Every structure is written in C-alpha cells, then in structure tokens.
Amino acid sequence: MNKRVAVCLALAVLFALPAFVAAQEDEAGCKDHPLLTRMKGFAIYACESSFDAVDFYVGEDKTQTLEGQKTFLSYSLREGEPKPSELQILRNYENALQAVGGTLVYKSDIYLSMKIVKGTGQVWVAVVPANYGADYSLTILEVGEMTQEITAGDMLAALNKDGRIALAIHFDTGKATIKPESQKIVGEIAALLKGNPELRVSIEGHTDSTGTPQGNKTLSDERAKAVLAAVADLGVDAARLSSVGWGQDKPVADNATEDGRAKNRRVEIVKK
C-alpha cells in the first residue's frame, strides 16, 4: 500500500468521510459554520457538534491533540455539479482562512490544518478532501475547556453513593484564582451545603504531574483553600469545611496523555 493510500484511509477513519455519496440536500439539522462557507455545488452529508478532543496534523506523521467545542461537517458533491480537484478544495480554504487571520500549521496534497489566534482564544481548522474532490470534510475546533454542568442534587447523589465527587473547577494557569466560568459550580457546592445542614465535607485539590511534586502539592493546597473560601463567602459556615491539597499523589488517569492530565487536574468534594 503506497503512502497516499495509507494516509487517505487513516484520514477517512479519523473524520468519518462519506464514500461516493451524491448528496442533493443538506442533512436535516446541519448548516455551515459561521467561520467558513462551503465549496460551490456541495451539500452537507453529515454534521456533528460536541465538546471533544481532536488530533490535528502539525507535521509529517506528527499530531497535536487539542480539546474544545468541535464542529464537524462532511460535504458531498451534488449530482451533476462539476467536480473540483483536491488541490482546489485545499487552496480555497487556505485562502479563506488566511483572509480572516489564519496561519498555516501543516499542509500536504490531501490535508490542511490552520489556526486562528484572537486574543487568548484559538480556533483550529482541518480540511480533508476525499474521493478525488467529490467529498471533503471540515473540522473546526474552538479551543477551550468544557463548562461542567452539575447541580447540587447531582453532587448529593454522588456523595451518598460514592462518598466523593470530582469537579472540573478551573483556575488561572499556575495560580489559585478561580476562573469566572467555574463560579457556577462553586455556587452549586454552596447550595448543596445550605440544603443539607448536617453535611460536612473536605475540599481536596489534585494536579497532574507537570512541574515538581512540592510545587504541585502547594498549588493544589492553595486551590482547595480558595474553593473553601469562595463557598464560605456564599454563606456556608466554614466550620463545616476542611481543605487539603494532594498535588500529583493521587492520579485517576495516565499523566502521559493530555486527556489523562486533564482528568487529574480536579477538585474533589469528599463527604466526612
């Protein structure tokens, strides 16, 4: 099997491209991403929107895994429409992305990845033509952390069942400052405790293995204390709360992967 065929097959599996399907109308519920329009003559064959991890090619046989809000769009040429070349598809999107500030990350004759940086935000785009220009896919990732939707009732159920619950409370990098998007979770912790006056909990911080063990222990301890203080500020008696930082000592996933490290960076609420 030559390299082109091998890469085409790998990318087809990765992006779930359709095979020689002549789409006439867009799949129900699918629409173009606001950032990019489609090639002339194409219809949307399939679409997906979710928080996910995506592998983007950043070099020959080298990928980078990023997490965020993913939009996947698969396009297929309408019957009777003139077929563009794969190069035409790639060049079209490269020019379109450059026009909105995008920079090239990696390009081959069957793949294009680019990124747009605006302030502290990043959007990555992968373009994959297939079937000699009859199909192509766009994967657009707005890089960021997932907003955890969890209620006081969810927390109580987990505490009663398992005695603990892990929460993805986000902090400024290397600091114990709780990010604004995590204030809602802090509010739900306070609501849990206010609704269950007999409940006492330990707030426990954990990190991944990046950095030194002592530095991680200190950071996790400071973060646990920050959550305790934030909950107390919402009217919960601090005497019902305790805090501890375990640093990197209690991982729940493999620190060798980004996904594992993300799971290890957590705050746990433990029933006392």
Q: What is the pLDDT of residues 89-147, one digit of tens each?
A: 999 999 999 999 999 999 999 999 999 998 778 999 999 999 999 999 999 999 886 66
pLDDT at site 8: 42
pLDDT at site 168: 85
Find the largest Cα–Cα distance for the chain. 73
* The residue to which tokens 């949307």 are assigned: 44
By the 8 A CB rule, do 150 and 185 touch? yes
- Residue 61 falls in which region: left (phi positive, over 0), alpha (psi -120 to 50) or beta: left
CA angle 51, 175, 178 (to 5 degrees): 55
Q: What is the pLDDT of residues 16-67, one digit of tens each?
A: 444 444 557 899 989 999 999 999 999 999 999 988 889 999 999 999 999 8
Q: What is the pLDDT of residues 205-240, one digit of tens each?
A: 999 999 999 999 999 999 999 999 999 999 999 999
Global confidence as pTM: 0.55
Q: What is the pLDDT of residues 143-159, one digit of tens each?
A: 886 666 789 999 999 99
- Domain ranges for the chain: 3-143, 152-271
By the 8 A CB rule, do 255 and 248 touch? yes
DSSP 113: E
By the 8 A CB rule, do 206 and 246 touch? yes
pLDDT at site 22: 53
Share of the chain above pLDDT 90, in %: 75
Residue 61 CA to its chain's centroid (Å): 22
* The residue to which tokens 């006492």 are assigned: 200
CATH superfamily of 152-271: OmpA-like domain (3.30.1330.60)
For residue 61 the two structure tokens come to 């046989």
DSSP symbols for 132-192: GGTEEEEEEEEE-PPPP---HHHHHHHHHHHSEEEE---B-TTS-PBPGGGHHHHHHHHHH
Q: How confident is the model at residue 5 (pLDDT cuts 50, 70, 90)?
A: very low
